[in-house]
Amino acid sequence: MTRLCKNCGFVNQDEYDYCAKCGTPLVDGLKRKNVIVFKPEDVKINKKALAISYIVTIFFSWIGVFVGLLSKNTRAGVFAFFGFFMPFYLVQSRHPTIRKHGIIQLIISIAGVALSFYIMVH
């Protein structure tokens, strides 16, 4: 069973007394409380953490390229798959800017992994 908000039309779970989207009371007789509504766009992005995520992604995705170039006939390119963890995590974010950086990092990872496997095979 669900409760429909009369103010915004959001479908809430049955046990909610207030709308999860706008904070309007869903039960007659309840007074409106000071409700903080979380919007992903309001969150400030930690630029240091974002820079570290780029460093981690580049390190893990491109390590196979560098190891492959330094030592021939190695299978270290397989470790380049670890470079996908950070971008996949960021792409799932609700914040549009973080999602955008996740997609950029995913492209960087795909290029690094592809080059790692090319070096590993040839």
- Does 73 lie in the same domain as 113? yes
- Does 55 lie in the same domain as 12? no
Tens digit of pLDDT for each residue in 33-82? 665 666 666 678 899 999 999 999 999 888 888 887 787 766 767 778 88
- Does 106 lie in the same domain as 77? yes
Tens digit of pLDDT for each residue in 75-111? 767 778 888 899 999 999 888 889 999 999 999 999 9
* pLDDT(1) > 80: no
- Does 56 lie in the same domain as 18? no
Separation between Cα atoms, residue 108 and residue 3, nearest integer Å: 44
- Does 70 lie in the same domain as 108? yes
Per-residue buried b or exposed e for 87-106, using 16+ beta carbons within 10 Å of the residue's own CB: beebeeeebeebeebbeebb
Tens digit of pLDDT for each residue in 7-39? 888 999 888 888 888 888 888 877 766 656 666
- Does 32 lie in the same domain as 16? yes
pLDDT of amino acid 91: 94
- Does 48 lie in the same domain as 88? yes
- Does 31 lie in the same domain as 50? no
Separation between Cα atoms, residue 38 and residue 116, nearest integer Å: 41
**Domain count of the chain?**
2
Range of the domain at 10: 1-37
- Does 23 lie in the same domain as 57? no
- Does 80 lie in the same domain as 107? yes
What are 96's two structure tokens? 């549009």
- Does 103 lie in the same domain as 76? yes
Query: 10 Å Cβ neighbour count for 116?
Result: 25
Q: Report the alpha-carbon angle 34-36-39, nearest 5.
A: 155
Separation between Cα atoms, residue 42 and residue 77, nearest integer Å: 40
- Does 105 lie in the same domain as 75? yes
